[in-house]
Structure 1
Amino acid sequence: MTPEDLRAGVQAGILTEAQAAGLKALAESRAGRRAALAGEDEPFEFFRGFSEIFISIGLIILLSGLMGLIAWVGGAAIAIFLPLICAAIAWWWAGYFTLKRRMNLPSMVLAVTFGGSILVAGVTLMLQTMADSLDFSRWLVVLPLIVATLAMGLWYRRFRLPFSMFVLAGFALLTLYSLVASPQVIADVLIGTSRNGLGRFFDLRQSPVFALTTLVFGLAAFAAGMWFDMKDPNRLGRHSATAFWLHLSAAPALVNTVALTLYNSGGTRGMLLLILALLVITALALVIDRRSFLSAAIAYIALVLGWVIGEGGAFGAWVLLLLILGALITAMGTWWVQLRNGLMRALPDFPGKSRLPPWAG
C-alpha cells in the first residue's frame, strides 16, 4: 500500500486517521527489519536460548512421569485412554508455553507429544478393534493417520506454530502411503529395499506406487510452502517460518524421487539427465531463496562429481571429491545473494515474481 492508498482509505471512511498512522508505522517497521537482515539470511529459529532447551528437557521428563503416575494409579483400565490424556495435557500446556511465553522449542515438544499421542490412541483403538472382530480392514490403518493429520491441522489453527506443519506433513505422507499400499506392493518394496537399498523406494520405475505418491506429496507440500512464502516475502513473520518447514518436507520427497529415478536409469544418459535435474533444482532453490532444496541434493551432487572424477575407490579420488564438493557448497553459500540477484535479473517476468523475497534489481 502506498501513502496515497492510506489517505484514500481515510477519506472513504474505511480507516480512521489513527488506524492509517498505525498501518504506516507498521509498514515502516517491517521494511526496517528486512533492511537490517543480512542479505544472505534465511531466517530460522529453533530455540532462543538455553532456557528453552532446559524447559524442553523438563517437559519431556515431566510428561513421562505424569503418564507413569496415571498408569500406576488407574491401572490397566486407564491404559487405552492414556495417550488421549497425554494429548489433552500437551494442549493445555501449549496455552502457556506457546501462546503466552512464545517459546519455540518447548512448543515443538508439546506439538510432537500431541500428534504422537493422538496417533498412538488411534492405533491402540485399531488393535483393540482387530482383536475383537478378528478381521483386518485397510481403514483400521488409515483412520488413525487421518485423525492425527486433522488433529495437527487443528493444533496449527489454534496455536499458529510453524513446526506443527512439519508434523502434519509427516502424518499426511504416511496417510497417503497407507491409502495406496497393498500387501503385494509392501512386499515388493521390502524385497527390493533389501536387495537394492532404500533408493528403490523412490524410483518411479522400480516402485511406481510409492515413488509417485512421494512425488505427489512433494508437489503438494511445495505448493503449500510457496503459498505461505508469498504471504510474507520479506520473511519477517509466522508465514515464512511455516513455509520453511513445508519446504523442508517437500525437498527430500521431490529431489529423491526425481534424482534417484534418473540416476538408477544408468549409463551416461542417466547421469547427464541427473546433472540437468540438479541444475534445475539449483535454479529453483535460488529463485525461491530456499537452501533446503539444494541441501537435499548434496548427495546427488557428490554422485555426479564421483562419476566425473572416475570410479575405482582410490583414496586420492575420495579426497578430490571432498575438496570439490566442499568448495562448491561453500561457494554457493558465500555468493548465494549475488547468484540469486543475477538469476532473477536474467529471468523474464512471470506470475508471482514480485511476491518472492526481494533481490537487487
Structure 2
Amino acid sequence: MISKSTLQKASDKNIINKDQIEPLYQFIVNEQSKDYSENKEEPLKFIRSFGDVFIALGIILLVVSINMTSLSGYYYLLPAAGFIVIAEWLVRVRRLALPGMVILLSILFFINKAFSFDNENATVLGLSVISLSSLLFYLRYKMPFSLLPLAGSLVSMTIIQIGMDALKNPVIFMLLGLITFSIAMWFDSRDTKRQSHLSDSAFWLHLLAAPLIVHGAMLSMISSEQVWVQSFSNDILMIIFFACFFLIALFVDRRAMLVSTQLYAIYALTQLLQSDFIGSQNVMIYVLMALGMFVIFFGTYWYKTRHIVFGILSGSKVSQYVPDFEIQDTK
C-alpha cells in the first residue's frame, strides 16, 4: 500500500498537487478494502520476496558464526548491540519482516547467553529479560512478531510460578490461552479490514492462543474426574470441542488458529506413537485424523462456508468486531 508520506514526496517533486494527497490516499485505501473483500485471502505479510529469505539466511549464518567464537558472559551483548544497529536499517527503514523476525530471535539469543543467573529463579529471570527485550523491540519497530516471544515468555513465567499445579490442572493452560485469545481479538477488532500492524499482531497471538486452549481442553477431557465430564464419552466431547473451536475460528476469520492447532495435533500424534493405543488415546487419533480431513476440505471453501454459516449476522452489531461475512467473488 502507498503511504501518505510517499504521496507527500510526490507532491514535493510536483508530480501531484498538494491538495490531491488526501483524496488520492483515501482512494487507495478504499481500493485496497475492495481488493480484500473480493479476494479475502490472508497475505503472508512477513515475506515479500526471495530477497527476504536470502537476507534471513545471511543473518542466521552470521549468528552461527558468532556463536562459534570464544565470546562469553557479557561480551555476548556486543553482537546483540550489533544486531540492534542492523535492525535500525532493515526493520525500521526497509521494513523487512522476515529478516526482522530473525534479527529479534538473534538478539534474544545473545542476550540470553549474556546473562547467567546462578539461583533457583534463573529461568524466570531469563524469561523476564526476553519478555522485556521483545516489548522494547515492539515499541521501537512496531513489528507484530515481537508479541509472540513476549506473550510466550509471559505464559511460561506464569506456568513456572504456578508450578506442578499447572500440570495437574490443565485447565490453567486453557485459561492462559483464552487470555491470549482475548488480547488477540482486541487487536483484531481494531483492524477488521486486515490492513495494519494491529491485525498482524493478532495473527501471532492467535498462533500461541490456539494450542494452549486445545492442549488444556483435551487434557481436561481425558484426565478429568468430574462427574459431568465422565457422563459423556471422550469421543463425543472431543468432537463437540473441535466443532466449536472451528466455528470460533471461522467466525473471527482466523485460519491461523487452525494452523497452530494442526501443528499441536502433529506433536500430540508423535507422542501417542511412543505409547500404547488404548482407551482415550485411540479416540484422539481418530478425532485428529478427522480434523485433518476436515481442514483440507474447508480450507478450500473457507469464505463460502463462513458466508453460509454466519452470513445472517452481516450488518449486526457483533459483525463490527470481525471481518465482513459477505463475499463478492463466488467462483
Work out whether the TM-score is over 0.5: yes
Show the counterpart of 2:106: 113
Show the counterpart of 2:189: 230
Q: 1:92 aligns with which of 85, 94, 97?
A: 85
- Post-superposition CA distance 1:281-333 (Å, at most 9, x none): 11100110001223344549x99xxxxxxx99xxxxxxx99996665323211
Structure 2 CA distance, aligned partners of 1:323 and 1:143?
Answer: 40
- Post-superposition CA distance 1:209-259 (Å, at most 9, x none): xx2442232122111211111121111121111111110011100122113
Show the counterpart of 1:332: 298
Kept after mapping to 2: 8 A contact 1:115/1:167: no
Structure 2 CA distance, aligned partners of 1:145 and 1:114?
Answer: 14
Pair 1:292 & 2:251 matched: no
The correspondence of residues 1-361 of structure 1 with structure 2, limited to 5 A, is 22-37=21-36, 38-66=38-66, 68=68, 71=71, 79-122=72-115, 124=116, 126-127=117-118, 130=119, 136=120, 138=121, 140-181=122-163, 185=164, 201=167, 207-208=168-169, 211-265=170-224, 269-298=233-262, 299=265, 327-347=293-313, 352-360=318-326
Kept after mapping to 1: 8 A contact 2:91/2:141: yes
Q: Decide which moves more: 291-300 or 159-168.
A: 291-300
Local SS of the residue matching 1:360: coil
Give 1:226's aligned amino acid.
M
Normalised to the residue count of structure 1, the TM-score between the two structures is 0.70
Question: Structure 2 vs 1, CA of residues 351 and 70 (structure 1 numbering), >3 Å: closer, same or farther?
Answer: farther
- Post-superposition CA distance 1:41-91 (Å, at most 9, x none): 1232332222222212222222343455573xxxxxxx2113322221121
Q: Please state how far the C-alpha of 1:334 moved relative to its aligned partner.
A: 1.9
Q: Please state how far the C-alpha of 1:108 moved relative to its aligned partner.
A: 0.9
Local SS of the residue matching 2:42: coil
Give 1:158's aligned amino acid.
R
Question: Structure 2 vs 1, CA of residues 28 and 234 (structure 1 numbering), >3 Å: closer, same or farther?
Answer: same
Structure 2 CA distance, aligned partners of 1:347 and 1:114?
Answer: 45
Local SS of the residue matching 2:193: coil
Q: Please state how far the C-alpha of 1:350 moved relative to its aligned partner.
A: 6.9
- Structure 2 stretches of 5 or more lacking a match? 1-17, 225-229, 270-276, 279-285
Give 1:287's aligned amino acid.
F
Local SS of the residue matching 2:326: coil
Structure 1 CA distance, aligned partners of 2:99 and 2:260?
Answer: 27
- Structure 1 stretches of 5 or more lacking a match? 1-17, 72-78, 131-135, 190-200, 202-206, 304-310, 313-319
Question: Structure 2 vs 1, CA of residues 264 and 292 (structure 1 numbering), >3 Å: closer, same or farther?
Answer: farther
Structure 2 CA distance, aligned partners of 1:331 and 1:230?
Answer: 28
Give 2:200's aligned amino acid.
A
Question: Structure 2 vs 1, CA of residues 176 and 116 (structure 1 numbering), >3 Å: closer, same or farther?
Answer: farther
- Post-superposition CA distance 1:263-283 (Å, at most 9, x none): 445785222122221121111
- Post-superposition CA distance 1:119-173 (Å, at most 9, x none): 3333x1x12xx4xxxxx4x3x4322211220111010000111111112122112
Aligned residues: 288
Percent identity at matched positions? 27
Show the counterpart of 2:15: none
Normalised to the residue count of structure 2, the TM-score between the two structures is 0.75
Higher Rg = 1
Show the counterpart of 2:283: none
Give 1:241's aligned amino acid.
D
